[in-house]
Structure 1
């Protein structure tokens, strides 16, 4: 089983591409190689193939990365399933994971993050959690987004170490992570991985 993330940048037209494109490329390259694992197409759309275990973290990492630029955000749909056809380019590969990711993306509307597998008992509670989490995550400001991004890059680091990495005070880190609801986001990511056995 694989996970496919289909996404695009919200408000990309209001910013020069050189402001957000390098950030997007850096974030995607954390999870694989271009063009076999990820590609950017149609200017501001992207697709990423990763493991089901990493999929939600990847989506949140992409969100934190892009939200370092004020007024930018991402819409991401996660599809869980199989890959039947392997092409050199991810955008030409196929399988149930790709179909579910595409269908889920088309149904996003105002929501910025959702997932689809073949199990409603898995999808339903997690999509509700994602909807609630996005009430906070959609409002992350650039400073908090940067701290969340670095926290995801260094999962073993404590707040003191994060403060040293970012050249900020420990209290700044602590307040930003609290405002970002990072503890709850981590609990949701952990819950997601424990539920993957259902898929």
Structure 2
């Protein structure tokens, strides 16, 4: 199994023309900074993207990091995640096929008010995972750009002590703690760890 994320910028059509290039640049920078060696991605239709993760356990963490990176620059994003097969691997994922791509694309077309949705090929998604994702969806939707940036740096830094983060963010340790607490960083971190174990169990079951 692989993981696929399809996403797009919310209300991108309202972004003034002179700011549109900056939005596209930020989207590309977000995908580039978060992508790892086992990741392929492509931007299409202007403000949309699709990303393939050969390590499916990173699915939720990757989607959350992309969301935080873009939100820290003032953009709202919605993403449809999927776990499934890849039938026709391609270096350019626009032409790749398989249930993971199909489910991810269909999920993005159907998404309404959520920021995150998940589908799994040939099985129902566990209700507890959906419920946890719904809570995380609400929490992340409410974070500010500064809180999103602090949470992103916390989740991606090798030394994420608050003192080290204060130096990186050029602010006080107290302010870092305040921003992270408002972003519910411990709950988000626990959720990411939970999803990795959940996906590990799912992929083992499919072997």
TM-score by length of 2: 0.87
Post-superposition shift, 1:85?
0.4
- TM alignment of 1:1-199, pairs within 5 A: 1-15=1-15, 16-29=19-32, 30-32=34-36, 37-50=40-53, 51-70=55-74, 72-118=75-121, 119-120=123-124, 122-196=125-199, 197-199=201-203
Alpha-carbon RMSD across the aligned residues, in angstroms, is 1.7
Distance in 1 between the 2:110 and 2:130 partners?
A: 12
1:144-167 Cα offsets, whole Å, 9 max, x none, are 111112112215421111111111
Structure 1 stretches of 4+ with a deviation exceeding 6 A read none
Distance in 2 between the 1:38 and 1:127 partners?
A: 25
Q: How many residues align?
A: 195
TM-score by length of 1: 0.91
Distance in 2 between the 1:98 and 1:67 partners?
A: 25
Distance in 2 between the 1:32 and 1:91 partners?
A: 19
Distance in 2 between the 1:123 and 1:78 partners?
A: 14
Unmatched tracts of structure 2, length 5 or more? none
> Mean alpha-carbon deviation: is it higher for 41-50 or for 139-148?
139-148
Unmatched tracts of structure 1, length 5 or more? none
Post-superposition shift, 1:62?
0.9
Confirm or deny: 8 A CA contact 2:40 2:91 kept in the other structure.
no
